[in-house]
Copies of this chain bind each other. A is one copy, B any other.
Amino acid sequence: MANEPLFPKNPDETQTSIMEATFDALAEYGYSDLTINRVSQHFDKSEGIIFYHYDGKDELLLDLLNYLLERVENGAIQLSNEASPKTHLRTLLDKTLPSADETQERDYEKVLIELRTQAIHDEDYRECFNRSHQGFRETVREIIEAGIETGDFNEVDPELVADFVMTLVSGEIFDRLTMNSNRMVRSELDSYIETRLLADQPN
C-alpha cells in the first residue's frame, strides 16, 4: 500500500497512539481474541484512557478502520496528467498488489482482512468498506475510460474491467494471507492487460 509509515514516529495525540496500539494488538491476536486489555499492552498509557475514549472493542475497531482507510485514500497516487493511461494503470497496480514481504505491509493487510470479515455480519463495517472500495474502483474505471478516449486501450467496458481488476486485488490479498502461497498474479494480470486492453493497438 502506501509507502509512508502507517503511524507517525512520535505521535503527539493520544488518539493516534490508541490507534497504533489497536492495530498492533489486532495484528497479533486477530479479531476474536482481541480485548481492550490486550490493546492496552501495546499502549504506553493506562487502560483507563482507552475506556475514557471508547465504549468498547467495536467502537474502537470501527475508528481504526476509518483511520486506516482514510490513510489509503490520502495516499492514492497522484500522477501528472502527462502520464499515459497505461503507465497510470501499471503504477496503480504496483502500489496496490502485495509484493514484498514487508512486515507492516503484511500486518496492514492482515488487519484489514480481519476487519472486513466483520462486514459479513455488521452493516457499519460494510459501509466503510463499500465507500473505500468504490473510491478505488472509480479510479481504475476512470483510467480505463481515459485510455479508451485517447485510443491507448481497446474499446472494452470500463465498468467490467474495473470490477475484474478489483476482484483480483481482493483475491490476491485474501489468498496470500490465508494460505501458504508464494504465487504472484501480477505477471498474468499484465498479460491480461496486454491481450485485452492493448492487443489491437498499433504500437
Question: Which residue from chain B places its CB closest to the CB of A109 in the assembled complex?
Answer: B120
Residues from chain B with Cβ under 8 Å of A80 in the complex: none
B-facing residues in A98-116 (Cβ within 8 Å):
110, 113-114, 116
The reply to whether A178 and B31 contact each other, CB–CB distance below 8 Å, is no
The size class of the interface chain A forms with chain B is 35 or more
- Shortest distance between the CB of A54 and any CB in chain B (Å): 18
A161 to B195, CA, bound (A): 14
Query: Which of A6-14, A69-77, A82-90, A162-170 lies at the interface with chain B?
Result: A162-170
Q: Would you give the shortest CB distance from A98 to chain B, in whole angstroms?
A: 11
Which of B125, B171, B184 meets A169, CB within 8 Å?
Answer: B171
| Residues of B contacting A183 in the complex (Cβ-Cβ under 8 angstroms) | 163
A117-B117, A163-B183, A183-B163 given; A178·B30 CB < 8 A: no
Which residues, 121 to 162 on A, are CB-close (under 8 Å) to B?
Answer: 121, 125-126, 129-130, 133, 156-157, 160-161
Asked, given contacts A171-B167, A174-B171, whether A179 binds B114 with beta carbons under 8 Å apart, the answer is: no
Please tell me which one of the listed residues B32, B126, B199 contacts residue A179 in the complex, with CB atoms under 8 A apart: B126
